[in-house]
A = this chain, B = another copy of it.
């Protein structure tokens, strides 16, 4: 299996040929074969028309059948892991072990969402039976559940070539919810994207699913993505990337004649508050933990801890000094793309010149597309007075904010913008008294972490990967990771006055799928009496 450079449109491929581009090996600073063709306007329309034609069959597809399809994709990813990882390694510069782990996570995620679809409890099936003799008016029979939204567009991210890309969480959750998917491949790993896309199409054929279930479109620029978001038959969008990119798509979608939801997971500063007791109890462990969390993947994580908030003290000063020493000795790492590296250099250079900000640690980065940590230190008043310090720098850079006292720490917490995560490190004795700070952090973040680190995202039913704007475009009402991710691709439908023969099986009296349902206000797997 080798990429050939063409968009995958239904069961065919594009022969129309938009602007050509190549993948780029950031470690070797050289382009990689083959040439990819950007999709054309006609390609976009064909992919969406096929998806819209497949949507009714997908809406009828049973949960167990969706589960089988997702498991088939997972099996294929794992079976071809070596060849996929080899290509991704070239295209991203990410280490082999990380990429292997990411393929495994992606497969696990597909299976978990597939199992959720197969079980069907997530559909929120509700039944209120008729009471024809109710006074003053008879009560009709009402049965409702979540139904698929229709064709969904997914934008692959640059930093996770598997888990947040072609067969990643957005695609997996949209399929699990019953929606056809069109992926706009990220141009930083087109070869990996095409190979994963072909595996998905194998699974489509193997499971006897309709053409249009899946398409994959390439683009060197932004036109294809814009055309997809504006296409009248597209009903929802998933995106992981920058605030600028996510907001542009959200604005486009909101301005459509028929606005559609964009679930954009965007930048995040991921503050870490470290209380004196934590430093007193485990300074060395904290240095090591923060170092690892902030340098893994060359800092190219949406959960990278970008802000460290401390109360000034001799112990805190020593802690910061030890952390700086550790950071300064970091070996450079290859960044995903020359563009990301260029932005990193420009942003850290600009930050270094801000008044009241000093460079805390600066590692050596010699190679063309590499970076080493660049950390800053400032005081709370400078931080609070300069919004630029709240902006995420994508890569291994964080700001240490030294507060005069506890009140300043709380003030910093209160002024935070929305973020995916917020972390609190506290000593055993002081932790129970942190209710107020925890409440403030829970108002700012989708996930609040006690004595842990934001990186290393568990995919589970309880996970929340979202947060108030600008962490996500929808204000943290949804999650892009975990089984609740399915809810994003649904709408509610109620059937009034229907009998079993015209109802979907999920709502039939006998409860043939054994779903957990709410019947006349009580939740059970029982049939309707």
Mark A residues whose CB is within 8 Å of B.
56, 59-60, 101, 121, 124, 126-128, 136-137, 139-140, 142-144, 147, 149-150, 235, 250-251, 254-255, 258-261, 418, 431-432, 434-435, 438-439, 442-443, 445-452, 456, 458, 460-464, 466, 468-470, 473-479, 484, 490-498, 501-502, 516, 518, 521, 523
A77 nearest CB across to chain B (Å): 18
A141 nearest CB across to chain B (Å): 9
Q: Is the CB of B250 within 8 A of A140?
A: no
Complex-state Cα separation, A474 to B484, whole angstroms:
18
Q: Apart from A144-B462, A144-B464, what 6 extra A-B contacts exist at CB < 8 Å?
A: A56-B439, A448-B495, A449-B496, A450-B498, A466-B492, A516-B523
A67 nearest CB across to chain B (Å): 15
User: How many monomers of this chain does the complex have?
Assistant: 2
Complex-state Cα separation, A492 to B446, whole angstroms:
6
Complex-state Cα separation, A495 to B447, whole angstroms:
6
26 example contacts (A-B, Cβ-Cβ < 8 A) are as follows A56-B443, A59-B443, A127-B462, A128-B458, A128-B460, A128-B463, A149-B475, A250-B259, A254-B254, A258-B418, A258-B470, A432-B501, A445-B493, A446-B493, A447-B493, A448-B494, A450-B497, A450-B498, A452-B496, A461-B521, A463-B494, A464-B492, A464-B494, A466-B492, A468-B491, A477-B490
Q: Is the CB of B140 within 8 A of A452?
A: yes
Complex-state Cα separation, A484 to B494, whole angstroms:
12
A250 nearest CB across to chain B (Å): 7
Report B-chain residues with C-beta under 8 Å of the C-beta of A447.
493-496
Q: Is the CB of A126 within 8 A of B446?
A: no
A161 nearest CB across to chain B (Å): 20
Chain B residue at minimal CB-CB distance from A437: B502
Chain B residue at minimal CB-CB distance from A465: B494
Complex-state Cα separation, A119 to B461, whole angstroms:
22
Q: Is the CB of A493 within 8 A of B464?
A: yes
Instruction: Identify which of A60, A127, A498 gathers the most chain B CB atoms within 10 Å of its CB.
Output: A498
Complex-state Cα separation, A173 to B139, whole angstroms:
22
Complex-state Cα separation, A192 to B491, whole angstroms:
34
Q: Is the CB of B137 within 8 A of A439?
A: no
Contacts A464-B492, A492-B446 given; does A502 touch B438 at CB 8 Å: yes
Complex-state Cα separation, A382 to B305, whole angstroms:
61
Contacts A139-B458, A458-B128 given; does A493 touch B442 at CB 8 Å: yes
Contacts A443-B56, A516-B523 given; does A477 touch B261 at CB 8 Å: yes
Q: Is the CB of A432 within 8 A of B462?
A: no
Contacts A121-B523, A434-B502, A516-B523 given; does A494 touch B446 at CB 8 Å: yes
Q: Is the CB of A473 within 8 A of B261?
A: no
Q: Is the CB of B56 within 8 A of A448?
A: no
Complex-state Cα separation, A443 to B504, whole angstroms:
13
Chain B residue at minimal CB-CB distance from A250: B259
A395 nearest CB across to chain B (Å): 24
Choice from B101, B254, B461 contacting A518 with Cβ under 8 Å: B461
Q: Is the CB of A469 within 8 A of B140?
A: no
Complex-state Cα separation, A498 to B261, whole angstroms:
33
A29 nearest CB across to chain B (Å): 33
Instruction: Identify which of A431, A439, A484, A494 gathers the most chain B CB atoms within 10 Å of its CB.
Output: A494
Contacts A462-B142, A502-B434 given; does A491 touch B446 at CB 8 Å: yes
Q: Is the CB of B461 within 8 A of A128?
A: yes
Chain B residue at minimal CB-CB distance from A494: B464
Report B-chain residues with C-beta under 8 Å of the C-beta of A523.
121, 516, 523
A391 nearest CB across to chain B (Å): 14
Q: Is the CB of B60 within 8 A of A460?
A: no
Contacts A128-B462, A458-B140 given; does A448 touch B490 at CB 8 Å: no
Report B-chain residues with C-beta under 8 Å of the C-beta of A121.
523
